[in-house]
Structure 1
């Protein structure tokens, strides 16, 4: 019997590599995105509830590399969040499941100058819809420092509900459960 010359294609990832909303593009990371993301990661106020300190350029690059690596290791990952009209990278939104997390989550992280413009909620809702269509079996949380009032407000605004409090990274965190079927 002769070996087959046909190559069978299998999907690379469990979720689309790109999503769009009216104002936003959620896409896989590009090599230079770390430069725009550094606006977020180098801001001590942005890092207050996550890394607890501003990151160096190398730290930002490693953070982006870790997010990009989630795609290969988990079959899904966070997206670079880009404003459609300007092609400016605002931050990151998407699926995230590092080793120490209790469950997969929807994460968001936007540079401070983009706060208050409803970009994060628009992007999170797009991710919720995509998950309900592509991987409906995936139950998602957002793990939020109990002092992070802005992220708690966002979680509630997109339909997530407080499920429990837990100790995480030496601080009290809240686990917010996202709805399986998001509102339209």
Structure 2
């Protein structure tokens, strides 16, 4: 489990006890979660999500990180690097609180997680995105990802971006 740092962020592996309160307003926000999973998460779903990511670190050496602003330790969102359940791929995914959109935090975190993955020998990293999630698509393209295919996963058509 690696703590990653960027110019403005500290990415710390998910700790369910530490991260739940900071991530609740983000993962529970309908607008933030509109294109992610089943949408806004309940307190119980957030606890389960964080525990799954903490367990994933132990089982795969990959998982989720909380994005914390270095200057004040505020939780801004989260990001993960993990095996895809439905494909033989390694996936990156992220969420960011609405008040932090457009400030370059997601790009900074995504760039660092891709760098970290590459440093661990992961040559191919994918992102699965709903076609209507234009903000995320623009971010992926700015970070060097390219659309490879549209794939059916869990009864949804998702776009597969690759770097």
Unpaired runs of 5+ in structure 2? none
* Counterpart-to-counterpart distance in 1, 2:84 and 2:91: 9
Equivalent residue, structure 2, for 1:8: none
Deviation at 1:138, TM superposition (A): 4.1
1:45 partner SS: coil
Residue deviations 1:141-179, cap 9 Å, x none? 00111111111011101000001011123222100001x
Unpaired runs of 5+ in structure 1? 1-12, 179-184
Q: How many residues align?
A: 162
Higher relative strand content: 2
Q: Is the 8 A contact 2:35 2:130 kept in 1?
A: yes
2:65 maps to which of 44, 64, 79 = 79
* Counterpart-to-counterpart distance in 1, 2:88 and 2:25: 28
Deviation at 1:102, TM superposition (A): 4.7
* Counterpart-to-counterpart distance in 2, 1:138 and 1:72: 22
* Counterpart-to-counterpart distance in 2, 1:85 and 1:91: 15
Deviation at 1:98, TM superposition (A): 4.5
Give 1:12-161 correspondences, 5 Å limit: 17-30=2-15, 31-133=17-119, 135-161=120-146
2:32 partner SS: helix
Residue deviations 1:25-76, cap 9 Å, x none? 0111232211111111111112211223321111111111112121111111
TM-score w.r.t. the length of structure 2 is 0.92
CA RMSD of aligned residues (A): 1.5
Which structure 1 residue ranges, 4+ long, deviate > 6 Å from structure 2?
A: none
The structure whose Rg is larger is 1
TM-score w.r.t. the length of structure 1 is 0.82
